[in-house]
Structure 1
């Protein structure tokens, strides 16, 4: 009888252990919009996380179509309680997401429970994840506009310093002279894709200390001085076009080809083209090249930026689950702590410990332009901002055409102001 009771006790203990293990296992439903090289890198990080946390947490990931389809599906799914546990998001769209009730607040307690805090991230990205002081997103990276350069062409012109980086590029008059010197023999001084010129213009607007949006002061471009600063920024890029330093009309693939074929020493584009350059160089199909922060052509350093971040959808009708919440936060913290691999896509880790590590400092050219993380100009905090949002339409409708002579720069700036304020 004693032996029977002993065996029953052992079986009971085993069953309790199995029950506890089953309860401890958390399946975290994940949605992202990451395709191409970004998607491959993120999938590798998810696989690594799942391997390291086997029996504890499993990420069940799904990749959806970038842009409006992703954001619309997330909003509608959260509204009926069928959204994921975690999703990737652009920080520039946080105000719109909060306004629509799509996101759950991420509290200080959530952060501390995962061993992270605002102090672990760049101030610009951390602030961009909040609305009226309330946190709705945890930043993962910062991606922004940088200057790619042909090291061979710059070295021949005496524009490479002892540190191996470009020198003497700052100052509008000085930079324009450099572009003029390179614009000859069928070559262009700089390659700037027409459809992306607004990012350069917004960067130059930021370099003048312009304010794009202040709700209390009147909305978009609240003062006439701000409109003038936007006009000044347009004039710079239009001047490059008018002087023949860059083609009038050239879209991204052709603009990239101008640079990679050696027809232009400079290329202004986001850091997401870094993998393209790395691959071409590895194949022996590209000259010696590099990338640095945008030159400071006005008073301040500044460059357009956005961030991939992590959010927790506010799934309507779902009861709070403390263990699931802790698992989600553990996923977020782990991803940030392992974002060095993500930097291979050209992105700058928002997590300070990774960005300041010796491993990242050795990563070139990423560490050569990482300074833009501290001088980033994010989209203004408004529901009209972010990818696939009205602000992007305004840039395309008024500002890009102003660089090609379709609209006068001053008229474009004023029309953009009136259009956006009319939508508030």
Structure 2
């Protein structure tokens, strides 16, 4: 379920060439729309709510279609029309569509896109709607709700979260004479990798791609006490001592023979499935990977390599769209749909994503129905979510470039991080000029 791959790949291309202009915007410091209509039970005339989303295939598309069908059947005056497209296409198409009054009434956005959309004036504020629906920060994982805010106003209402975990091929571990209990500490993990190496197995393949090298690096960075950017998101800090420790740990996998020097996109998860490696840091979405399900595998929280527990997690948020001439009835109906979907989100876990609503995610019935999700639920206490700042995906993409250059031996760890941090600083400055604030 590589939901953000196309979007992040585009951002990576921009990051390499700092002079390239940023994504289309309604203008520097675009003004967002007013509040979305308060929810309440929608009792107005029959309306059709257009809902853009990036779930275009696999189990998620099927689950979403079924949920929408159930909602439509139980709401005689609301018809939700889901329109699936690539995530990158949503970002590209919304500005012009909204300006023409032809955008969706509702969309779903990743956590690091919300601020960009808000700064572009593409979204309605959701403060009043969230209050009417009864949502507060306490209803979601720690730190998540705030990621849907921009300049003091709420724009996103959380829908799902997708943390990283550690996958293990139990057959490979058994053949190496190792316990199938997945390592939880740096010492246990290193011992396992050394044992696997002695048996001719490169135990964990690291890569220089967003999926999943960048997510692994960010998890390690936070574990070593670092952060991606400063508090105001004006300067990159991923080249700190913590960042160097994180990337060095990954580079050492290559130099110590735990990993091949050059791993293709998806090479690590494919190697795990093929029995060529034992471990892979990957997202919760792999729990619905039908190829993986054929193997004797298990998942666990990512091991604690640094001084504290931390793990990367993405998120998706509902967002109400600020179309020219937006129909208030459709927005109010969309709010009803959002509330209903969050209340019925347990089945969403079957597609490899955790429901964001605490009441649903913490219900023992969820892990009873989807036992493979247990380790990912455990990680919610220390998950780190995406940075919130307009245009931030472009600056984030420089991290992937640094990883690639270091893992391939093109630059030292320090030089790779310093070079890309400087480029990220330029992009952050461009973002400020582009979006204001």
TM > 0.5 between the two? yes
Q: For structure 1, list consecutive stretches of 5 or more residues without a partner in the other structure.
A: 1-20
Does residue 391 of structure 1 match 2:387?
Answer: no
Contact kept? 1:114, 1:333, Cα under 8 Å: yes
Contact 1:235 1:403 in 2 (8 A): no
How far apart are 1:217 and its partner, in Å? Answer: 8.1
Change (3 A) 1:302 1:56: same
Cα distance in structure 2, aligned partners of 1:403 and 1:395 = 12
**47, 63, 71: which one aligns with 2:84:** 63
The alignment yields a C-alpha RMSD, in angstroms, of: 2.3
The two structures have a TM-score, normalised by structure 1, of 0.84
Contact 2:299–2:372, Cα closer than 8 Å, also in 1: yes
Query: Cα offset for 1:185?
Result: 3.9
Distance across 1 between alignment mates of 2:44 and 2:149: 33
- Whole-angstrom distance in 2 between the partners of 1:279 and 1:42: 22
How far apart are residue 381 of structure 1 and its match?
2.3
TM-score with structure 2 setting the length: 0.81
Aligned to 1:341: 347
- Report if the CA contact (8 A) 1:25-1:57 is conserved: yes
Mapped pair 1:170 → 2:185: yes
Deviation at 1:26, TM superposition (A): 2.4
Q: 1:101 maps to what in 2?
A: 121
1:366 aligns with 2:412: no
Aligned to 1:131: 150
Mapped partners of 1:298, 1:291: distance in 2: 20
For residue 31 of structure 1, the aligned residue among 52, 55, 58 is 52
Matches within 5 A, 1:43-58: 43-53=65-75, 55-58=76-79
What is the DSSP-based 3-state SS (H/G/I as helix, E as strand, rest coil) of the residue aligned with 1:219? Answer: coil
1:275-294 to 2 correspondences below 5 Å: 275-276=288-289, 278=290, 280-281=292-293, 285-286=294-295, 288-294=296-302
Distance 2:196 2:44 in 1: 66
Relative distance call for 1:257 and 1:217 in structure 2 (3 A) is: closer
Q: 1:119 to 1:246 in 2, by over 3 A?
A: same
* CA gap 1:99/1:210 in 2 versus in 1, 3 angstroms: same
Distance in structure 2 (CA, Å) of the matches to 1:241 and 1:124:
34
Unmatched tracts of structure 2, length 5 or more: 1-41, 430-437
SS of equivalent to 2:143: helix
What's 2:227 paired with? 211
| Deviation at residue 298 of structure 1 after TM alignment | 0.6
CA gap of 1:44–1:154, structure 2 versus 1, over 3 A, is: same
**CA shift in 2, pair 1:74/1:187, >3 Å:** same
Shift of 1:85: 0.6
Larger Rg: 1
Distance 1:237 1:347 in 2: 26
Match in the other structure for 1:274 = 287
1:181 aligns with 2:195: yes
Q: Deviations over 1:141-161 (max 9, x none)?
A: 11122110123444674534x
Distance in structure 2 (CA, Å) of the matches to 1:211 and 1:319? 39
**TM-aligned CA distance change 1:320 to 1:257, over 3 Å:** closer
SS at match of 1:340: helix
Partner residue in 1 for 2:161: 142
Provide runs of 4+ in structure 1 moved above 6 Å.
none
Number of residue equivalences? 382
Tell me the residue number matched to 1:419. 423
